[in-house]
Amino acid sequence: MSLEIRKIDAPLGAEVIGINLCNPISEDDKKTLYQAWLDNICLVFRNQNLTKDEQINVASIFGKVGERATPKKRRNEDKHGYDGTIMMVSNDRDKAGNYTGSLPDGEMWWHHDMSYRPEPHKATFLHGLEIPSHGGETQLSNMYLAYEQIPSKLKTKIINKKVLQAYDFALRGRVNLSEKGLENIQHQWQPICILHPETKRTALYVSRLISASIEGLEPTESFEILEQLYEISENRSVVYEHSWQKGDLLMWDNRCSIHARKTFPSEQRRVLRRCTVEGGPMISADAVA
């Protein structure tokens, strides 16, 4: 059976048919997958059954596999073969009732992974190991389309501006800078509109969970503009919603998409194995316009 890229009926995403990712992948197929990822922003592989090492091998097609941003004590993740590249997104608990993984339960607001770092990782891979009977969908938004949908009057207000990306490891709620102090939070000023280094397309680069303020604006105006940009980037017209099945591998381009998680029954187990691929600094689209 040969490889087939089948576009999903959504503003982004394609399903990859006819490949067992446990098997060796030809150089031609690797090139096809890489281009399909650039073209479609996210790829879905159904019915996979990958070991940790096999998942890392697949990720390495797309670049150097990334290390975790915060290598703090990983509780019981060692039992999953934790080596610094893997994050277990899991609501599993140990005998004492403590979560054994990361990002355990409930909704998670829209975000780019690691936009608060100087060189955010460019791709994220999630492999579904245990899936609840309902809920827990991963939503992805096409930030090329979001950029195109910004009204011209609003665009003039954000041109050449930077946005402060700050993250304090919450799943929901905006960072409270006055309470914590920026020096105590991982943060990075990033272009508000970025030039994708490979597709050369412009993408909006803000998210409700991590974008804290726009440079040079009063807090009220900054908040109002960010709120308008969130509304555009979370609109159904630019969103694909992935309903998980056990064995899915979902991967996306973290430069031109944001993602979120819907809530799910906390009494049911949800375990996903995550890894990433390193990226470079974000380039302002305005600088080359």
The residue number whose beta carbon is nearest to Fe ion equals 113
Cβ at position 111, least distance to Fe ion in Å: 6
CB atoms within 10 A of CB 138: 22
To Fe ion, the closest distance from the beta carbon of 114 in angstroms equals 9
Angle at 12 between CA 1 and CA 195, to 5 degrees: 115
Return d(Cα 128, Cα 78) in angstroms, integer.
18
Binding site residues, Fe ion, CB under 5 A:
113
Phi, psi of 230, deg, nearest 5: -65, -45
Query: Which residue carries 């492999």 as its tokens?
Result: 127
Query: Nearest distance from residue 223's CB to Fe ion, in Å?
Result: 23
End-to-end CA distance of the chain: 44
Beta-strand ranges (E) seen in 144-210 are 162-167, 186-191, 193-195, 202-204
Cβ closer to Fe ion: 113 or 234?
113
Name the minimum Å distance from CB 265 to Fe ion: 21
Which residue type sits at 289? Answer: A
CA dihedral 57, 61, 63, 68 (to 10 degrees): -30
Q: Least distance in Å: CB of 129 to Fe ion?
A: 17
